[in-house]
Structure 1
Amino acid sequence: MVSAEERLDAVFHALSNKTRRQLIADLAKHPARVNELARPYDMSVNAISKHLFVLEKAGLLERRQDGNTQSCALTPLALSSAAEWIEHYRQYWTSQLDALASFVEGHQE
């Protein structure tokens, strides 16, 4: 069984590559076949498939077999764990910056 930490690691790994981030943006518009996803990139279908595998492993997309072709659809629920993790630290840094601003404003008078 995969732990929450391992799933979070997989999501951040998937998001660490600009091609995979662009594939997520492409799939957010509409589901697409693998060859359609590969078309705008200077990559082979095989190379795009490797990126899609990383996204699939992270739970960010699902592939469906349609006869001889595979179609992909975004499953963004896995992004929620990353968003929660980022939000926790955004709150931390916001409070730290607010405290620094109060300190600076208090010493300017």
Structure 2
Amino acid sequence: MPMELLFALAQSQLPTTVDSPADIDRLRVLAAADLVKASLPDVDSPIQRAEVTAISFQGQAALAKAYPGHPFTFRTHVLPGPVFPEWLAPLDASRVDRKSTKTTLDS
């Protein structure tokens, strides 16, 4: 069942690779339900290998509901570097000229 795979993924160190065709099919169900974040192969691809990068908040809630007595410890991944790209102007770069009806952006 997909929930058993989700439980097994919650016990493993992420990101992890899934190679079994049956588990990849279960992973497709979990990804379609937005319970995991995964990179899935095409259905007709000769190499069936998927990478699971995270269990979503919906997946964490589903696990907590399905296994209420189990103490899950979910790790959140922090992306290195700034959240916004450097080429994007900062929010304080925009100014509103209140004397006219136009808004200008300093860049």
**TM-score (normalised: structure 1):** 0.38
Higher strand share: 2
Higher helix share: 1
Q: Which has the higher contact order (CA 8 A, sep 6+)?
A: 1
**TM-score (normalised: structure 2):** 0.39
